[in-house]
Amino acid sequence: QVQLAESGGGLVQAGGSLRLSCEASGRIFSTYGMGWFRQAPGKEREFVSSISWSGGSTYYADSVKGRFTISRDNAKNTLYLQMNSLKPEDTAVYYCNADIRTAVWRRSEYWGQGTQVTVSS
């Protein structure tokens, strides 16, 4: 079984920064692409950012480009999201997503439980 545990969320004033972490644990054979999604109250879950296994390719939603930076440490099976210049509209539950192989014959997508980010104006 694989678990994704997010941390780093909290309450911050507009213009502030937070750094989210997501640690993958369990029976992991190899990890591929990883990413962050978010869901605000009353809205659908939306893509925020993703990163390739090597870290050489990163993708961002237009709404966070230039403010958020995604990175990963494969030795620690950990994904990060540095969020700067936060805005009230960034308030949401942030979810970690990972494409993980747990055996030669098994590769699946996993989700974390989410971490709340609240940005006050």
Which candidate, 28, 42, 31, places its Cα nearest to that of 97? 31
Q: Would you state the structure tokens that stand for residue 111, as one six-digit string? A: 């989700």
**Looking at this protein, which amino acid is placed at residue 103?**
A
Whether the CB-CB separation of 115 and 6 falls below 8 Å is answered with yes
Per residue of the chain (121 residues), what is the pLDDT tens digit? 899 999 999 999 999 999 999 999 999 989 999 999 999 999 999 999 999 999 999 999 999 999 999 999 999 999 999 999 999 999 999 999 999 999 888 899 999 999 999 999 9
Taking the C-alpha atoms of residue 15 and residue 35, their distance in angstroms, rounded to an integer, is 23
DSSP 37-54: EEE-TTS--EEEEEE-TT
